[in-house]
């Protein structure tokens, strides 16, 4: 070994090709800098010098074209997704968005694709994973909806786009993969008689104005539960949407451990997130006029809440919420959802999502002939296409259009019913 010739020293940054003592050939190519500032040198090996020269030239071309993979090329999909969601996405997105990312990553993507090497991931891997997600039923036994798979697909596309931007991938396989097709469900809003029945039944329970706001103004659940009395000007008949109530998240705060796996059931649990977040979009922050009947309901609701405050005494927590628990704390979205379902049962109406109250409000605006721009302001839409998505045409609108065509094209005499005549029977 002492007689082994030394390799000539190459200039800084230059590639090198050499043979080891066993006869194998190697190449070293500098492709950039590592995070710590040291040179990022890649290793190529082969049985012959020609093979190594070819590999070295390929690395040099990739370096010049800006297509060289970053240091994270050895990461698995699980390692990259975990790093992305906790260290890249978490500090920069809204809490509600982060919750969706974490569900997509931890529940769907890592179990299906986590063992793949990041640089080996192909569109076909994603497509097979999406099909597997679709075949796997929910715990309730119901089939999984394509929208859930699309959420996982969008999350993967966003995470891999960041990997491409940082040089860990040369292209994003999620941009070429095809997720299952989403068929938009036709949502049937409640008719005016149904709305009147719901409001009549709602007057018999706590927070009755909550459902009037949902059905008349179309506020999202988080927007309605996030209202403070400082947002409501009853004298001017205005309501300002400024924030959105979010689902509380908890952590264990028990010593010794209470035995419950989910911290939400811990008797000593502590909330780890804020009660509210920003609205869904900038357009969500808006001022909405209050109908006179709704002003009356809100005044009555305020008086009832003041009576509850007096009855609760020291147990009352004054958060300023328009819709609160009997002790003044913010309503939990799940409890609000349960109250909506009970309201539908008591009104003997078909089952519907809470968000369908928003569809219904949009349809009422359409019935009233409200312009698209005005509807956007009331509903808090940032995209004009939302008006076409939410404002479903119901029978009353179809009949109204037909009546207008009658009046435009035909005279009243022509549209009068024909007298009954005896029709000769065939012999």
Contact 218, 358 (CB under 8 A): yes
**Peptide bond before residue 256 is cis, with ω within 30 degrees of 0:** yes
Q: What's 192's DSSP letter?
A: H
Classify domain 74-175 at the CATH topology level.
DNA polymerase; domain 1 (1.10.150)
- In order of 240, 371, 374, the CA distances from 286 in angstroms are 6, 17, 12
What would the pLDDT profile of 224-265 be if each residue is shown by its tens digit?
A: 999 999 999 999 999 999 998 888 888 888 888 888 888 888
What would the pLDDT profile of 297-345 be if each residue is shown by its tens digit?
A: 999 999 999 999 999 999 999 999 999 999 999 999 999 999 999 999 9
Q: What's 85's DSSP letter?
A: I
Tell me the C-alpha distance between 100 and 159, whole Å. 13
To which H or E segment does residue 325 belong?
A: none
Provide the residue ranges of all domains of the chain, joining segments of one domain with +: 16-68, 74-175, 192-243+278-390
Query: Looking at the DSSP assignment, which residues form a beta bridge with residue 228?
Result: 321
Other C-beta atoms within 10 Å of 7: how many?
A: 11
CATH 1.20.58.220 applies to domain 192-243+278-390: no
Is pLDDT of 6 > 60?
no
Tell me the C-alpha distance between 109 and 111, whole Å. 6
109-115-117 Cα angle (round to 5): 105
Q: How far is CA 422 from the centre of its chain?
A: 64
Tell me the C-alpha distance between 365 and 23, whole Å. 81
What would the pLDDT profile of 170-214 be if each residue is shown by its tens digit?
A: 899 999 999 888 776 666 778 888 888 999 999 888 999 999 999
Tell me the C-alpha distance between 380 and 220, whole Å. 9
Domains 74-175 and 192-243+278-390 fall in the same CATH topology: no
What would the pLDDT profile of 52-94 be if each residue is shown by its tens digit?
A: 999 999 888 877 766 665 554 568 899 999 999 999 999 988 8
CA quadruple 414, 415, 417, 422: dihedral positive or negative? positive
């Amino acid at each position: 070994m002492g007689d082994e010739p030394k390799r000539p020293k190459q200039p800084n940054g230059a590639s090198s090709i050499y043979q080891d003592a066993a006869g194998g050939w190697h190449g070293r190519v500098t492709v950039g800098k590592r995070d710590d500032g040291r040179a990022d040198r890649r290793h190529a090996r082969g049985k012959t010098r020609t093979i190594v020269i070819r590999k070295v030239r390929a690395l040099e071309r990739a370096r010049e074209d800006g297509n060289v993979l970053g240091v994270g090329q050895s990461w698995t999909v699980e390692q990259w997704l975990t790093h992305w969601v906790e260290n890249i996405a978490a500090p920069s997105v809204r809490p509600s968005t982060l919750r969706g990312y974490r569900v997509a990553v931890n529940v769907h993507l890592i179990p299906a694709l986590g063992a793949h090497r990041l640089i080996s991931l192909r569109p076909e891997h994603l497509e097979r994973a999406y099909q597997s997600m679709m075949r796997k039923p929910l715990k309730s036994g119901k089939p999984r909806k394509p929208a859930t798979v699309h959420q996982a697909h969008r999350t993967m596309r966003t995470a891999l786009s960041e990997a491409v931007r940082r040089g860990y991938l040369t292209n994003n396989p999620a941009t070429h993969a095809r997720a299952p097709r989403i068929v938009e469900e036709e949502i049937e809003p409640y008719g005016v008689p149904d709305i009147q029945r719901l409001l009549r039944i709602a007057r018999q329970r706590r927070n009755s104005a909550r459902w009037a706001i949902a059905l008349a103004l179309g506020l999202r659940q988080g927007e309605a539960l996030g209202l403070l009395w400082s947002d409501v000007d009853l004298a001017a008949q205005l309501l300002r949407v400024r924030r959105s109530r979010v689902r509380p998240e908890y952590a264990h705060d028990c010593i010794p451990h209470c035995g419950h796996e989910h911290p939400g059931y811990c008797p000593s649990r502590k909330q780890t997130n804020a009660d509210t977040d920003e609205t869904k979009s900038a357009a969500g922050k808006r001022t909405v006029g209050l109908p006179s009947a709704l002003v009356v309901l809100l005044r009555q609701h305020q008086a009832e809440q003041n009576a509850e405050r007096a009855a609760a005494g020291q147990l009352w927590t004054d958060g300023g919420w328009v819709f609160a628990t009997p002790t003044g704390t913010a309503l939990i979205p799940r409890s609000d959802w349960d109250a909506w379902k009970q309201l539908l049962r008591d009104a003997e109406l078909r089952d519907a999502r809470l968000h369908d109250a928003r569809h219904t409000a949009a349809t009422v605006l359409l019935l009233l002939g409200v312009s698209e721009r005005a509807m956007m302001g009331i509903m808090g839409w940032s995209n004009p296409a939302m008006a076409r998505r939410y404002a479903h045409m119901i029978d009353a609108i179809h009949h109204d259009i037909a009546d207008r065509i009658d009046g435009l094209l035909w005279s009243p005499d022509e549209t009068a019913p024909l007298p009954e005549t005896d029709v000769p029977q065939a012999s």
